[in-house]
Amino acid sequence: MRTKLKFWPIVSGIILIVFFVILAIKFSDLEKFYKTLQQGIWYYIFALFTFETLYLVDQAEIFTGLFKIYNVNITIRKILKVFLAANFTNLALPSAGIAGLTVFSQAGPKLFNIKRSKAMVINLLYYFLNYGSFIVLMILGIILLFTMNKLQTYHYISASLMFILVLTGSSIFWVGYKNKNHLKNLLEGVAKFINFFSQRLSKKDLIKKDNINNLQTEIFYTTSVYKRNKHKFLEPLAFALLGHFIQIFVLYISFLAFGYNPEFYIVIIGYIFSVVFIMVSPTPSGIGIVEPVMAVTMASLGAPIEIATIATLTFRGITFWLPFFIGFYATRRLKLE
């Protein structure tokens, strides 16, 4: 028997409106992306769709590994549906991941038979592992640019903002790891911030005051598991790192699709600053901001500006529109089984 999630009528209506608004506003970009693909080598274009789909599955595998930490076994099909819906919400609504957190934390307890606080902690761990592993790549990129004397002011500023965002998010687990008594005060402040966004998405607080104690317990349990069994975090961490390398390869294929074989460090640095500017950009998924920065950065490292621009449009198109359309479908299909 299937019943729709109780929160879904409100969220679904908002998402439907956002979907068509973004589609209307960015239709010219979608058309440009389609025409660009037509100019590429067909088997590389096919590879782009294949590897980007593989990336989405990889991200869902991070969650399966995180659920294992809590001794919860889930199927990849079920978690993939929720991840795609949450990811679509993040693409459509710029909120530093809070919009996706709202969807995951609302759907998770009903679909996986877990507490909302546990669903929130798992989602936070996903971001912590994903962006924590990315910081290693970002530092590598900064070092490469510095040694090549190509480091610009906007690289410093954007990388610093990214580092601050990741550091702020990881502070929750660090405080829980070090001192349980200080954790509650920090969670109360975070709850106010998250509820600010959830009020605008679903017209209610995502984290109620009486849920903070449960959230504190789950975070403390997570840090306790880490202290005793660090190896349990290796599987989701490995998938997080794999996801970054898959995306780097997608960007590399975006060059090959138009007959240019770039130096690999150009691809790595281009990918790094695409992620950085997606995070710090005020527009959905960095649309309109990431593209010129990415193309100029790669051109400054030796790639022809025309090819760098086409590769950027291809990479940004495949990594935005494919998850966007698949995620919208998953969002509309998300039901309690």
74, part of any domain: yes
Question: Per-residue pLDDT for the chain (337 aa), expressed as one digit of tens each?
Answer: 444 455 555 666 667 777 777 777 777 888 888 888 999 999 999 999 999 999 999 999 999 998 888 888 888 888 898 889 888 887 777 666 667 777 777 777 777 777 777 787 888 888 888 888 888 888 888 888 888 888 777 777 777 877 777 777 666 666 655 666 666 677 777 777 777 766 666 566 666 666 666 666 667 667 776 667 778 888 999 999 999 999 999 999 999 999 999 998 899 999 988 888 887 776 666 777 888 889 998 998 889 999 999 999 999 999 989 999 998 888 877 754 4
DSSP output for 137-204:
HHHHHHHHHHHTT---HHHHHHHHHHHHHHHHHHHHHHHHHH-HHHHHHHHHHHHHHHHHHHHHHHSS
- pLDDT at res. 322: 92
In a domain, 1, yes or no: no
Residue 105 lies in a domain: yes
Q: Is residue 161 part of a domain?
A: yes
CA distances from 47 to 87, 242, 269, 315 (A): 22, 17, 21, 12
Q: Coil, helix or strand for 303?
A: coil
**Which domain covers residue 282, as residue numbers?**
8-333
Write the Ramachandran bin of 113: left for phi over 0, alpha for psi from -120 to 50, otherwise beta: left
Measuring CA to CA, which residue among 150, 162, 135 is closest to residue 276? 162
Task: Tell me, yes or no, whether 168 lies in a domain.
Answer: yes
Can you tell me which residue has the tokens 């403390």?
220
How confident is the model at residue 337, as a pLDDT?
45
Q: Considering the domain boundaries, does residue 3 fall inside one? A: no
Position 116 in a domain: yes
Gap between the Cα atoms of 103 and 198, Å rounded: 9
Distance of CA 37 to the CA centre of its chain: 24
* Model confidence, pTM: 0.82
Total number of domains constituting the chain: 1
Longest CA pairwise span in the chain (Å): 62
Q: How far apart are CA 37 and CA 12, in angstroms?
A: 31
For residue 2, being part of any structural domain is answered with no
